[in-house]
Amino acid sequence: MPELPEVETTRRGIAPYLEGREITEVRVRNRRLRVPVPEDLEARLVGARVGSITRRAKYLRLPIEGQGTLLWHLGMSGSLRIARVGDTPKKHDHVDVITDEGSVLRYHDPRRFGFVDWQQGDETRDPRLVHLGPEPLGEAFDGEWLYRLSRGKRVAVKPFLMDNKVVVGAGNIYATEALFIAGIDPRRSAGRISRARYDHLATAVKEVLAAAITQGGTTLRDFVSGQGEPGYFAQRLNVYGRHDQPCPRCHTRLKRITLGQRASVFCPGCQR
């Protein structure tokens, strides 16, 4: 599943081809996505201009000047790529948004768990966005925030960190890596971790996500950037996917467990 760095990489990749451009055509080949593609999408978009593209959690927001916003989610296997007019669509290329300059924003999704939907009015009222926690790279997210929300929580710290109401974007890969950098055992009760250790964890989350964005995301089976290139952050993973290998810090054999129905890898030697 594309995580926050993959979505941010996509945003940065498609923005130069779309922002300020007029939409001249919309082609919908399959409306049967997780949320059906709106029947009036073509009528809304053709002739309108795209504003500055933003991201909220793993949602991409494409403002359509004077009308509303396209809300895009990539689901488990979706990707947005830039093509050119005349490029032959592939199987599972469901939606094209074509600009006056000849660029094509092409949505590819084999599993069809993603969606493109129309958002009218204030985003804070959208039920998909209203309960989201702060952005991990923003000022609102820090150790004090984690410490305050964790008080009285018996849940393990890793699923606590992965809760989108706590912070958005700390998915399985990045939570695993951040906990390793901070030296925190993912099994520890969230409510029993000190403020100082949460300061280290918040810093680690920021570091690992910023590095992943710089590297273009994590190389996963389905993920590619806006230009169709794979991410490369997987080359720098310390523990995720490396169970039974030596810890890069203390050389203890890395252990794999299951937390919150998700696989987790950690070092029993230096994560406490």
Binding site members for DNA: 92, 111, 153
Q: Annotated catalytic residue: which of 2, 5, 136, 186? A: 2
Quickly tell me which residue has 């493109």 as its tokens: 116
- To the query of whether residue 272 is one of the catalytic residues in this protein, the response is no
Tell me phi and psi for residue 146, to 5 degrees. -65, -45
161 burial level (CB within 10 Å; 0-12, 13-18, 19+): buried
- To the query of whether residue 36 is one of the catalytic residues in this protein, the response is no
Written as one string, the DSSP assignment of 110-124 is SS---EEEEE-S-GG
Nearest to 178 by CA among 144, 145, 143: 143
Query: Which long-range CB contacts under 8 A does 250-257 form with residues at least 24 apart?
Result: 257/186, 257/187
- Could you tell me which residues are annotated as the binding site? 92, 111, 153
- To the query of whether residue 127 is one of the catalytic residues in this protein, the response is no
DSSP 127: T
Written as one string, the DSSP assignment of 6-27 is HHHHHHHHHHHHHTTPBEEEEE
Q: Annotated catalytic residue: which of 49, 58, 158, 197? A: 58
- To the query of whether residue 165 is one of the catalytic residues in this protein, the response is no
Bridge partners (DSSP) of residue 63 are 69
Q: Annotated catalytic residue: which of 56, 229, 262, 268? A: 262
Structure tokens at 204: 């680690």
Structure tokens at 245: 């290998």
Q: Annotated catalytic residue: which of 3, 6, 8, 177? A: 3
**Cβ–Cβ < 8 Å for 266, 186:** yes
Nearest to 2 by CA among 163, 111, 132: 111
Q: What residues are annotated to the active site?
A: 2-3, 58, 262
